[in-house]
Structure 1
Amino acid sequence: MAIGSRLRQLSERITEEATQIYQLYDINFQPRWFPVFYVLSDGTRKPITQIAKEIGHSHVSVSQIVKDMVKQGYVVEKSDPKDGRKTVVELSKMGKTVTSKLSDQLLDVNAAIEKALSETDHNLWKALEEWEHLLERKPLLQRVQEQRKERERSKVQIVDYTDEYLAAFRTLNQEWITTYFEMEEADYKALDHPRAYILDKGGAIFVALYEGEPLGVCALIKMEDGQSYELAKMAVSPKAQGKSIGHLLGRAVIEKAKLLGAKRVYLESNTVLKPAINLYYKLGFEKITGHPSPYERCNIQMEIKF
Structure 2
Amino acid sequence: MNKDFLNELGELALGSRLKRVSERMMADAAAVYQHFDMNIQPKWFTLLALLDRKKQVSVVEAANLLGLTQPALSQFSRQLESRKLIEIQLDTEDSRKRVLSLSTLGHQKVAEMRPVWAAVDKAAKDLCSEFENHFYASLQTFEKALDKRSLLERSKDHFEPLNTSPNTNIVDTTMLENSLTFLDFEPDLAPFFEQINSQWIKSMFVIEDVDKQVLGHPQENIIDKGGKIWFAKHSQLGVVGACALLNKGDGAFELTKMGVLENARGLKVGEKLLQHVIAQAKLLPIDCLFLLTNAKCEAAIHLYEKNGFTHDALIMDKYGKSYQRCDVAMRWSDA
TM-score (normalizing by structure 1): 0.50
What's 1:151 paired with?
A: 175
SS at match of 1:223: strand
Cα offset, 1:148, TM superposition: 4.3
Q: 1:241 to 1:143 in 2, by over 3 A?
A: farther
Q: Which amino acid in the other structure matches residue 294 of structure 1?
A: S
What's 2:252 paired with?
A: 228
Cα offset, 1:195, TM superposition: 0.8
Q: Which amino acid in the other structure matches residue 215 of structure 1?
A: V
> Pairwise mapping of residues 80-159 of structure 1 onto structure 2 (< 5 A)?
148-159=172-183
Regions of 4+ moved over 4 Å:
140-144
Q: 1:141 to 1:160 in 2, by over 3 A?
A: same
What's 1:240 paired with?
A: 264
SS at match of 1:182: coil
Write out per-residue CA displacement over residues 168-209 of structure 1, whole angstroms, 9 at most, x where no aligned residue: 110111111111110111101211110111111111100011
What's 2:332 paired with?
A: 304
Q: Is the 8 A contact 1:263 1:305 kept in 2?
A: no
- Equivalent residue for 1:216, pick from 241, 249, 264: 241
What's 1:51 paired with?
A: none
> Pairwise mapping of residues 256-295 of structure 1 onto structure 2 (< 5 A)?
256-289=280-313, 290-291=317-318, 292-295=320-323
- Equivalent residue for 2:184, pick from 160, 182, 203: 160
1:271 and 1:217 map into 2 onto residues whose CA distance is 21
Q: Is the 8 A contact 1:153 1:244 kept in 2?
A: yes
CA RMSD in angstroms, aligned pairs only: 2.1
What's 1:204 paired with?
A: 228
2:235 and 2:199 map into 1 onto residues whose CA distance is 21
Q: Is the 8 A contact 1:149 1:242 kept in 2?
A: no
Q: 1:143 to 1:230 in 2, by over 3 A?
A: farther
What's 2:202 paired with?
A: 178
What's 1:187 paired with?
A: 211
Cα offset, 1:294, TM superposition: 1.4
2:162 and 2:297 map into 1 onto residues whose CA distance is 24
Write out per-residue CA displacement over residues 67-121 of structure 1, whole angstroms, 9 at most, x where no aligned residue: xxxxxxxxxxxxxxxxxxxxxxxxxxxxxxxxxxxxxxxxxxxxxxxxxxxxxxx
2:201 and 2:277 map into 1 onto residues whose CA distance is 20
Q: 1:151 to 1:224 in 2, by over 3 A?
A: same
Q: 1:278 to 1:142 in 2, by over 3 A?
A: farther
What's 1:255 paired with?
A: 279
TM-score (normalizing by structure 2): 0.46
1:302 and 1:143 map into 2 onto residues whose CA distance is 39
Number of corresponding residues: 164
Cα offset, 1:215, TM superposition: 0.6
Cα offset, 1:143, TM superposition: 7.6
1:261 and 1:208 map into 2 onto residues whose CA distance is 23
Q: Which amino acid in the other structure matches residue 253 of structure 2?
A: Y
Cα offset, 1:263, TM superposition: 2.1
- Where structure 2 has 5 or more consecutive residues not aligned to the other structure, the ranges are 1-159, 165-170
Cα offset, 1:141, TM superposition: 6.0
Q: 1:230 to 1:143 in 2, by over 3 A?
A: farther
Q: Is the 8 A contact 2:231 2:243 kept in 1?
A: yes
Q: Is the 8 A contact 1:286 1:303 kept in 2?
A: yes
Q: Is the 8 A contact 1:172 1:236 kept in 2?
A: yes
Cα offset, 1:264, TM superposition: 2.5
Q: Is the 8 A contact 1:160 1:206 kept in 2?
A: yes
1:149 and 1:141 map into 2 onto residues whose CA distance is 9
Q: Is the 8 A contact 1:221 1:231 kept in 2?
A: yes
1:210 and 1:176 map into 2 onto residues whose CA distance is 18
SS at match of 1:293: helix
Q: Which amino acid in the other structure matches residue 222 of structure 1?
A: N
Cα offset, 1:142, TM superposition: 11
Q: 1:286 to 1:229 in 2, by over 3 A?
A: same
1:277 and 1:184 map into 2 onto residues whose CA distance is 21
